[in-house]
Structure 1
């Protein structure tokens, strides 16, 4: 049973001892004001003894018994502990009392002889004291465990969110580089302009997305840059409509949160459309309620009701789970049109 008492646990027991002794002092002050000083010394002397046996019980004996395997071993040790504490609560308490008298610290107000009535009184008093210490210590430790569990959960969610971001950004960059590669392969005069626009996007990704939030106007600007970069690949046949209704452009949201829906419209929508491709984008933010709608042309699969989410949409859905408590993401494939609608209560940020 070699265990060192942690400094935090020692502070906890000293704090409980201070509360316990304070209650005893208050009781003496109210009921025995004339002999308060003498009784106060007695209370402090008793508190030292009670604190010591509580530390021994809760920090050493109980953990030691818990570690033992087998019901019989635990039963025997538990029985031995019970007998030991009966001794502590009676004869041990008398011994501590006598030791205090010898040192002229403790002043007896009754008989100093050991009697059945005195032993019963000491046993009940000490038993209550140990239960008092145990309840407070258990409640405090339980709250600390809950707090640590919550902190670990927060750290775990933050790590997962960072991982999702680390997946999203390279995924976004990979798609953009593919577009530039297509222009370069076709020896298009638009390749230099596309590289310039890409540099703006990279600058945003390097310097803006590291933070927790960005202003909505910044998110809109990077969406505009991305759309302009994508448009370089298409001729006038691609029809893009984008509009917004935002009461405050300085409102914040996580960076690149809306981008996966725009990316999806290009990569899995208009790029696979053989007819007249189009993308309609609408963003509104009013009273902290965000609505982001993206509609795009899309080829109907063999099973139009089966929608398979790509990595961008899957990551977006998981990020929303980690970031907000009040949101809704709905996607629908219908009549050669793919639509996505994202509703977020921005005030519900975790």
Structure 2
């Protein structure tokens, strides 16, 4: 991780050093200074020195300072004070000796020249330090955002891993009941279950799926549940969709239907029913599931089973604009889900 961070900072200096040089050259142009080719070479010579010193100062020396090594820290800071003042002057003079740096303007004393160069080096430290701080801050925010996304995705996958076995467990219970009664409907129920399993294994791995595929599985699940009941159970399932190909997270709606069977009609003795309505218009989804219950409103306590609680959490992770309301009336339970599909995170 530390090596990766060093590589990132090295790449930062690859464009930061030319930017620093161009900034000084632009200042010379705006001041109308002559001898531009010589000034460009001079600024390049000075920028090489300041870039190396600032790189070691900001990337290696300052991060390693600590109170435990106070004497060492004081020595290093004094060393950099020397490098950014007298050392910078010596570098300039080396350029003059090698005929790389061309003295321009009126001559000044050595102490005055060291003062000018020291001011320039302090400005360079400020420039490199501020840019580096901003760069680290942006990277930190991006890393935090990426970590948040990865954590949410991991939680979402965990919720799905809970929901699917829970859904299959209830379905297997239904088939077990038919097999125990030696019903002729058991083979058909196993066939429908295999279709649901195939869908879960091969179609629900992605973040989205066409709504028509989820509707087919919902039809299979309803048909599978109906095998347990006689003709007394009334089921009404209708939908009004602008586009059957529009996308939706897979198996997002099935918990409400499952809840209607397991905690609704299975406990209803007199005229059980389930009414399901789905509409999507202008990317606004409305899903209403109404079912009979075995208790009057006063005796019924709405409780969040694993299906509903997982659904609520998935909605929190997936959308910013949604509502999930449940309402208990006398011998009737209604769940209403509304989602603005444009608000997907």
TM-score (norm 2): 0.93
Counterpart position of 2:282:
287
Secondary structure of the residue aligned to 2:27 is: helix
Does the 8 Å CA contact 2:268/2:293 hold for their aligned counterparts?
A: yes
Secondary structure of the residue aligned to 1:6 is: helix
My pick for the range that moved more, 331-340 or 27-36, is 27-36
Counterpart position of 1:167:
162
How many residue pairs match? The answer is 343
Task: Give the Cα separation in 1 of the matches to 2:266 and 2:79.
Answer: 81
Counterpart position of 2:18:
18
Task: Give the Cα separation in 2 of the matches to 1:4 and 1:206.
Answer: 37
Task: Give the Cα separation in 2 of the matches to 1:218 and 1:37.
Answer: 70
**Cα 1:69/1:232, change in 2 over 3 Å:** farther
Structure 1 moving runs of 4+ over 4 Å: 2-5, 76-82, 301-305
Task: Give the Cα separation in 2 of the matches to 1:142 and 1:260.
Answer: 42
Counterpart position of 1:220:
215
Question: 1:31-57 CA deviation, whole Å, 9 max, x = no partner?
Answer: 456411111111011111111121122
Task: Give the Cα separation in 2 of the matches to 1:174 and 1:4.
Answer: 46
Counterpart position of 2:334:
339
Counterpart position of 2:58:
58
Does the 8 Å CA contact 1:20/1:47 hold for their aligned counterparts?
A: yes
Counterpart position of 2:107:
111
For structure 2, the residue ranges without an aligned partner over 5 or more in a row are none
Counterpart position of 1:48:
48
Confirm whether residue 259 of structure 1 aligns to residue 254 of structure 2. Answer: yes
Task: Give the Cα separation in 2 of the matches to 1:64 and 1:88.
Answer: 18
Question: 1:275-324 CA deviation, whole Å, 9 max, x = no partner?
Answer: 22111111111010000001111133896574221111111111111111
Task: Give the Cα separation in 1 of the matches to 2:301 and 2:72.
Answer: 63
Question: 1:1-44 CA deviation, whole Å, 9 max, x = no partner?
Answer: x9998232112123111001011122334445641111111101
Confirm whether residue 326 of structure 1 aligns to residue 324 of structure 2. Answer: no
For structure 1, the residue ranges without an aligned partner over 5 or more in a row are none
Task: Give the Cα separation in 1 of the matches to 2:67 and 2:314.
Answer: 44
Does the 8 Å CA contact 2:260/2:274 hold for their aligned counterparts?
A: yes
Secondary structure of the residue aligned to 2:35 is: helix
Give the root-mean-square deviation of aligned CA atoms: 2.2
Within a 5 Å distance, the mapping from 1:1-350 to structure 2 comes to 6-31=6-31, 34-65=34-65, 68-69=66-67, 80-109=75-104, 110-111=106-107, 113-115=109-111, 117-300=112-295, 304=299, 306-350=301-345
Task: Give the Cα separation in 1 of the matches to 2:302 and 2:73.
Answer: 61
Task: Give the Cα separation in 2 of the matches to 1:69 and 1:83.
Answer: 16
Does the 8 Å CA contact 2:297/2:328 hold for their aligned counterparts?
A: no
